[in-house]
Structure 1
Amino acid sequence: MSSAQHLLESRPHSVAHLFLARVEATPDREAYRYPVVTEAAGPEAEQWRSLTWAQTADRVKTIAAGLLSIGLRPEERVAISSSTRIEWILADMGVMCAGGAATAVYPSTNADETAYILADSASRAVFVEDAGQLAKVAAHKDRLPGLGHAVLIDAETEPPRIEGLEVLTLADLEERGKAYLLERPDAIEKTVEGLGPEQLATLIYTSGTTGRPKGVRLVHDCWSYQGVAQEATGLVEPDDVQFLWLPLSHVFGKALISGQVKSGHVMAVDGRIDRIVANLPVVRPTIMASAPRVFEKVYNGIAARARADGGAKYKIFLWAARVARDHARTGQEQMVATGRRRLPLWLSVQHALADKLVYGKIRAAFGGRLRGSASGSAALAPDIGYFFAGAGVPVLEGYGLTETSAACTVNPADDYRVGTVGRALPGTEVRIAEDGEILLRGPGIMRGYHNLPDKTAEVLESDGWFRTGDIGDVDKDGFVRITDRKKDLFKTSGGKYVAPTEIEGRFKAICPFVSNILVIGNGRNYCTALITLDETAIMPWAASHGQEGRGYADVVSSPEVHALIDDFVQRVNGDLQRWQTIKKFAVLPRDLDVEHGELTPSLKVKRPVVEGEYADLIEAMYEGSREA
């Protein structure tokens, strides 16, 4: 039996078990870092504090005991509506150690949908980050008769009185927990000891692109499996420092905590998106998880700065970018063919020179120690993946869904392959259905949709296979490649199938100005596209092309920008089949965002929403066309 198989078969019943074992094994080692802003104003006053595993356990146990003191029973739900911060982790671990099940709520969720999630989950209590999150709960309290307690994380003043709801501060809850533990000092250990692997641990509501979200039922064994499997792949190591900024309400962020508890490495936690770049040289992470959009923005920013410098510096950047891609692509091809990354001497020499001139600065911007960055939730354009791999910041793409408790495949750091989402985690099986759909089976698969047996039956077979809705293939070495979402594939009026994600990925790979692109053409006789541009990239270009002082909306609607983007469209079209080519496109006056409901919180495009919002613009691109 392999060591990985032994770890899987001997895994404990829950992450709560893993947590208590971790605390016992390394009580004095650093567990978490988190930022604290002092009374002095401004980011320069920000300091980072640490918690050891023993200190973390003290807080987790008092939170768990506080929940027991208000009557929480096994598998009853406790919601968490907060941004990513240390208290989110403490609350979640406290819920699990109390035997409850956490309901994750995005802080950006509106009041109506928050009430829907709390009601559908039958949450007994809710952790809210601040007065704004509490107000959303209070607005629909009449729909939540079973919700008895709210715990306010940030409480600058006395908590408000809300009829039918006891509002506590987090400090209040912990004080109750301390009193509870004085009478029952081993209450948490006994509760954890009684947890079973099939006991409900988490309800995560899919952000979805249409309709009401569905509650995905993930049991304790899902998270225990994630922790053990992540460590078995070598994705995380005990001496790592991981920077966590992803939303913990999303399954990807939540799963990272399982791997961290199992391996015992340091986690630096700060969910403020506007502080990512500033935090990197402070945290100096060795590993980080991210979404493809971040790498696309970083690449666009690097290219824009080089373009602004102009002359020799821009030519050096373009040369270095080409060398990075050639170096990574050639190394990967050699690895696949021979098992070794053999490179021609001329390419190695060029790469060494480019490293001194360009790549070293890129690695420094990430903190200088990043050995790899896991990426998920959407596909990364291969050319961008090759660029970062060649620059010494390999992006290890993985694949998973809320229904699979996040990762089910991941690229290994010592044999990553750009353009794939890696191999299956130990214990997970992958199969391709006759129509190309990817099927998965393993311990991380959900136990169903909450209160939706018919929806569960649509995707979960009786023998455990889960229908992902994604189209892809598996190569001879076990590497999985995703080609498109099954529901996103469309057929033109001429009967030709088009995979829009593939075309969109190609465009993102060559156009440094793009932010989002949607290829459209279902039932039409040609394809069109809606395109949004990255403001940080297009505005410097516009300023250097006679449009200095103009606003973003004016710039993106200008003939000059249309001609610029058209050039990239034609370059993409040159590599496509005739029926795939983009015949017309429109540049939108602003970028897509979560606030307008066009992106999910994990930054996936809600195609029906965008197509509905810009229906007139789409129809204008088909005016006069003859449907065939």
Structure 2
Amino acid sequence: MQETVKTPLEMLDHWVDVQGDKIYLRQPINGQYVDFTWQQVKQKAQQLAGGLRHLGLKPGDKVAILSKNCAEWFITDFALMMGGYVSVPIYPTANASTISYVIKHSEAKAVFVGKLDYWKDQEPGVGGDILRLAMPYDTMPAQYQWDALLSVGEPLTDYPYPELDSLMTLIYTSGSTGNPKGVMHSYAGFCQTAEQVGKHLNGSSDDRVLSYLPLAHITERTYIQGSSFYIGGTVSFAESLDTFVDDVKRAKPTLFLSVPRLWTVFQQNVIAKIGATKLNVLLSIPILGGIVAKKIRTELGLNHARVLGCGSAPVSPLLLQWYRRIGMNITEAWGMSENCAYATLNYPFQANKIGTVGKAGLNCDVKIGEGDELLFKSPGNMLGYYKQPEATAETFTEDGYLRTGDCASIDADGYVNITGRVKDNFKSAKGKYIAPVPIERKLAQNTNIELMCVIGSGLPHPVALIQLSDAAASADRETIRASLKETMDLVNPTLESHEILDAMVVVSEKWEIENDVLTPTLKIKRHVLEQRFNELVDGQRKAVVKWQDEL
């Protein structure tokens, strides 16, 4: 245990002393940045902490944050640390029932509400008996508005630094298999992990990042917010989905993280503009290929990025190879809420290790346990699940390793290959176990596919459910059918006999967070799709490709 690690509040004081007038946070409002220096962030956090103390909140109280990423989210988090409160982030896309569950389970005494796209739908989940505090955006009604909170009490300037072993935050899992669990992280675990991220990625105060993936998710909290405490770089935010590309270009990120779905959408947009065949030809021409590749990187707003990352769900190696052709080496990484998301990563980038999630990070240890389950240990491992001692005990081995729930193998160089989730594996009608993730990765070579999910519990053979890309969805159906059939005919011979796909079914409804198919981190809820489709697709045979409306 690295007892010398500094808390975020100590680092805030450090950067105020070293570069207090340097811009730390950049919040776009109507297309223009509103900037906050390190000194201003500290001042506002002290004012806010004083306001919370004035309102009667006591050290140790839980305080929820329900908002999209913004400068005020960071300021609120600092204020909660100053007051000795425990932060409880909630996904800004969470539905009312999830919000209600998290607030009640965590026993939050207050909730900050901020940038939200659907606050009228979410408000019933907040309820009327909890203190609501509003960030300065169009959001649900609250007892106190931001400016009033900053002035209602005396600034809290005399506060102790948090004890390293004290509880810092409750990170609720995205709930892909049931109610979310509250993952308890101490200051020691979170801070050591965030510091190691900065070191591993060679971060410095010259780095720029864009914070847009949910801060309620541990990856954004550690890699983007957490590392910023230790490297002293600049953090910009996205204004909205409609302005996202402009937000990226304006931020000029040197470190940029995304998820497989968004990397796929970026790729599909490029192909839709240029055409797959034409792009292949252009990239094959010496000199011209380099010019075209640079133009694409510039159009994406990522021409300044020295580190590109991908995580949270399986990604096709072919997608990463495609980006490599345009000069973008994407580091695949793996982590989870229970280990502060910093676990394995392919950095420094090794092209010959595409398809793995990299090797163990600094002060991290991995090994394979019973049933090929990946076991993990690091200072960032959680304290446990809040109010769930039995689940906590089941999650750790006797020697303190985290049971990750992921099936994996480790090669001779220490690189980890995730082969699926233990709980995702299902048994066919023939009694054979099938791991869907490796099959999905093979199917992902078809760029007409945006999302897919292989199901088949209790069926004779598995079936692949397909969500088409926007371009493919509006193209000629028979052309797309032939393309999908070609892919299935290429993949099936590479599978074991019990894994062979009986069919591909193109779904009618897009998979979204709102229709309960995707988690807030865009993971697919396989059990939900199995419930909705198993009976419908049963009976499809002979590697057919059908649309849902043809069944």
Q: Same fold (TM over 0.5)?
A: yes
Distance 1:568 1:155, change over 3 A: closer
How far apart, CA to CA, are the structure 2 residues paired with 1:602 and 1:261? 23
Partner of 2:549 in structure 1? none
Tell me the residue number matched to 2:50.
Answer: 65
- Aligned ranges for residues 178-327 of structure 1 at < 5 Å? 179-181=153-155, 186-187=157-158, 190-192=159-161, 195-255=162-222, 256-270=224-238, 272-307=240-275, 314-319=276-281
User: Is 2:66 aligned against 1:81?
Assistant: yes
The answer to whether the 8 A contact 1:28-1:54 is kept is yes
* Structure 2 residue matching 1:529: 3-state secondary structure: strand
Q: 1:524 maps to what in 2?
A: 459
Inter-partner Cα distance in structure 1 for 2:343 and 2:290: 34
Report Cα offsets for 1:453-472 as digits up to 9, x if no partner: 11111112343211000011
What letter matches 2:306 in structure 1? R
1:271–1:398 Cα change, 3 Å: farther
Residue 405 of structure 1 aligns with an amino acid whose one-letter code is: C
Check 1:525–1:112 CA distance in 2 against 1; reply closer, same or farther (3 A cut).
closer
1:611 corresponds in structure 2 to 530
Which residue number corresponds to residue 459 of structure 1? 395
Structure 2 partner of 1:411: 346
CA distance in 2, matches of 1:620, 1:526: 10
Deviation, 1:378, is 0.8
Give distance in 2, aligned partners of 1:530 and 1:593: 14
Map 1:376-525 → 2, pairs under 5 A: 376-415=311-350, 417-508=353-444, 510-525=445-460
Q: Which amino acid aligns with 1:180?
A: E
1:11 is matched with which residue? 5
Query: What's the offset of the Cα at 1:155?
Result: 5.9
After TM superposition, give the deviation of residue 126 of structure 1 in Å.
0.6
Matched, 1:32 2:25: yes
Matched, 1:150 2:85: no
Residue 57 (structure 1) shift: 1.1
Kept in 2, the 8 Å contact 1:203–1:215? The answer is yes
**Paired residue for 1:329?**
none
CA distance in 2, matches of 1:518, 1:155: 37
The verdict on how the C-alpha distance between 1:580 and 1:235 changes in structure 2, with shifts beyond 3 A counting, is farther
Q: CA deviation at 1:302?
A: 1.8
Distance 1:122 1:17 in 2: 28
Would you say 1:533 and 2:468 are equivalent positions?
Answer: yes
Matched, 1:578 2:509: no
Q: C-alpha displacement at 1:65, in angstroms?
A: 1.9
CA contact (8 A) 2:24 2:35 kept: yes
Amino acid at match of 2:441: G
Aligned to 2:37: 52
Q: CA deviation at 1:593?
A: 0.6
Q: Could you say which residue in structure 1 is the equivalent of 2:293?
A: 359
Aligned-partner residue type, residue 233 of structure 1: H
Cα distance in 2 for residues equivalent to 1:265 and 1:173: 28
8 Å CA contact 2:95, 2:121 repeated in 1: no
Distance 1:579 1:522 in 2: 12
Task: State the 1:33 CA deviation.
Answer: 1.2
* Residues 235, 412 of structure 1: 8 Å contact kept: no
Which deviations, in whole Å up to 9, do the C-alpha atoms of 1:159-191 show, x marking residues without a partner? 95xxxxx71001111112xx423xx6x32xx33
Determine which structure has more spread, i.e. the larger CA radius of gyration: 1
- Gap runs ≥5 in structure 2: 543-551
- Other-structure match for 2:548: none
Contact 1:244 1:271 in 2 (8 A): no
Partner amino acid, structure 1, of 2:528: V
User: Relative to 1, partners in 2 of residues 1:133 and 1:98: Cα closer, same or farther, differing over 3 Å?
Assistant: farther
Amino acid at match of 1:11: V
Q: Point out where structure 1 has 5 or more consecutive residues left out of the alignment.
A: 38-45, 161-165, 308-313, 324-349, 546-557, 624-628
Aligned to 1:331: none
- Check 1:477–1:10 CA distance in 2 against 1; reply closer, same or farther (3 A cut): farther
Deviation at 1:156, TM superposition (A): 6.5
- The answer to whether the 8 A contact 2:363-2:379 is kept is yes
Q: Give the CA deviation at 1:305.
A: 2.3
1:614 counterpart SS class: helix
1:345-384, Cα deviation, whole Å (9 max, x unpaired) = xxxxx6654212x311221123221222111101221011
Match for residue 173 of structure 1? 149
1:273 counterpart SS class: coil
1:328-347 to 2 correspondence within 5 Å? none
CA shift, 1:518, in A, is: 1.2
Structure 1 position 100 matched with structure 2 position 97: no
420-429 vs 118-127, greater mean Cα deviation? 420-429
CA pair 173-483 structure 1, distance change in 2 beyond 3 A: same
TM-score (norm 2): 0.91
For residues 528 and 227 of structure 2, what CA distance do their matches in structure 1 show? 35
The alpha carbon displacement at 1:55 in A equals 1.3
Q: C-alpha distance in 2, partners of 1:140/1:86? A: 22
What letter is aligned with 1:215?
A: G
Q: Give the Cα separation in 2 of the matches to 1:156 and 1:373.
A: 32
Name the counterpart of 1:347: none
Correspondence for 1:600 among 515, 519, 531: 519
Q: For the residues of structure 2 that align with 1:601 and 1:136, how far apart are their CA atoms?
A: 14
Whole-angstrom CA distance in 1 between matches of 2:239 and 2:372: 37
1:402: how far off? 0.8
CA distance in 1, matches of 2:349, 2:376: 24
Q: Deviations over 1:539-593 (max 9, x none)?
A: 2xx2xx5xxxxxxxxxxxx444333322222122243333322121211112211
Identify, as 1 or 2, the structure richer in helix: 1
What does the per-residue CA deviation read over 1:257-310, in whole Å, with 9 as the maximum and x for residues that have no partner?
Answer: 110110001111126333322222222211111111111111122222233xxx
Map 1:540-559 → 2, pairs under 5 A: 542=475, 545=476, 558-559=477-478
> Letter of the aligned partner of 2:4 in structure 1?
S
Moved more, 525-534 or 491-500: 491-500
Structure 2 Cα separation of the partners of residues 210 and 488 of structure 1: 10
Contact 2:238 2:248 in 1 (8 A): no
